[in-house]
Amino acid sequence: MPAPNQAALDFLLTRRSRPAKTLAAPGPDRTALEPILTAGLRVPDHGKLEPWRLMVLEGAALARLAQLAADLGEASGKPPEQTAKGVSQFSESPLCVAVVAVPRPTDKVPAWEQELSAGCVCLSLVNAALAAGWGACWLTGWPAYDAAFLTGLGLGPGERIAGFVHIGTETVAPPERPRPDLSATVAWVSE
């Protein structure tokens, strides 16, 4: 029988994101963040293409992006509450890791699989931050799909946001949310 890593399994069985609005400063400094980033990039990657890159956003960069979201939201006539949601994602974040999906030109690995790997990076970053004792969550929101915002963030042609992973000091653990019912989600196929 296999020897389980019970602590890791228990973590995976109980892990849950911390809502962005419950994350407070300080976020992790560089020394604390590097093992989280290292774990975050330790993901399945078909063809070893590394079809992603990370941007660690903090301080004035977050304020600049919040202002950009405010300007773009107003300019495009978004409902104020929608604009505010895009702004607060950055103005209230202690630290944000933008996970950028970077499609590598190859006919060996479909773009879909490369994007799946970028998604894995987002979850791994959240889990590594939680395991390191921080609060963390994976967001997107309208800024992740706004061409002018993405240009302002420095994304190039073909690059997409897989997620904005916010990391900070946990202030409150959220109540558990309903989790999938295995019997409704899993099919046991033995023939």
Binding residues: 15-17, 42, 46, 138-140
- Could you tell me how many residues of this chain bind ligand FMN (CB under 6 A)? 9
Closer to ligand FMN by Cβ: residue 30 or 177: 177
Binding residue numbers for FMN: 15-17, 42, 46, 138-140
State in angstroms the smallest separation of the CB of 181 from ligand FMN: 15
By CB under 6 A, what part of segment 106-145 binds ligand FMN? 137-141
Phi, psi (rounded to 5 degrees) for 126: -60, -50
Nearer Cβ to ligand FMN, position 19 or 152? 19
CB of 189 to ligand FMN, least distance (A): 26
Closer to ligand FMN by Cβ: residue 14 or 190: 14
Q: Which helix (H) or strand (E) holds 155?
A: none
Q: How far apart are CA 91 and CA 27, in angstroms?
A: 13
Backbone angles phi, psi at 189, to 5 degrees: -115, 110
**Structure tokens, 40:** 């975050």
Tell which positions 139-178 bind ligand FMN, by CB under 6 A: 139-141, 163, 177
Q: Quote the least distance from Cβ 140 to ligand FMN, whole Å.
A: 4
Please identify, using beta-carbon distances, which residue of 3 and 147 lies nearer to ligand FMN: 147
Smallest gap from Cβ 77 to ligand FMN, in A, equals 21
Distance CA 151, CA 155 (A): 5
CA dist 154 and 40 (Å) reads: 21
CA-to-CA distance for 78 and 69, rounded, in angstroms?
11
On whether the CB atoms of residues 70 and 88 are closer than 8 A, the answer is no
Backbone angles phi, psi at 6, to 5 degrees: -60, -40
Token pair belonging to 84 = 């505010």
16 lies in the binding site for ligand FMN (CB under 6 A): yes
**CB 13 → ligand FMN: shortest distance, Å?**
12
The binding site for ligand FMN (CB under 6 A) comprises 16-17, 137-141, 163, 177
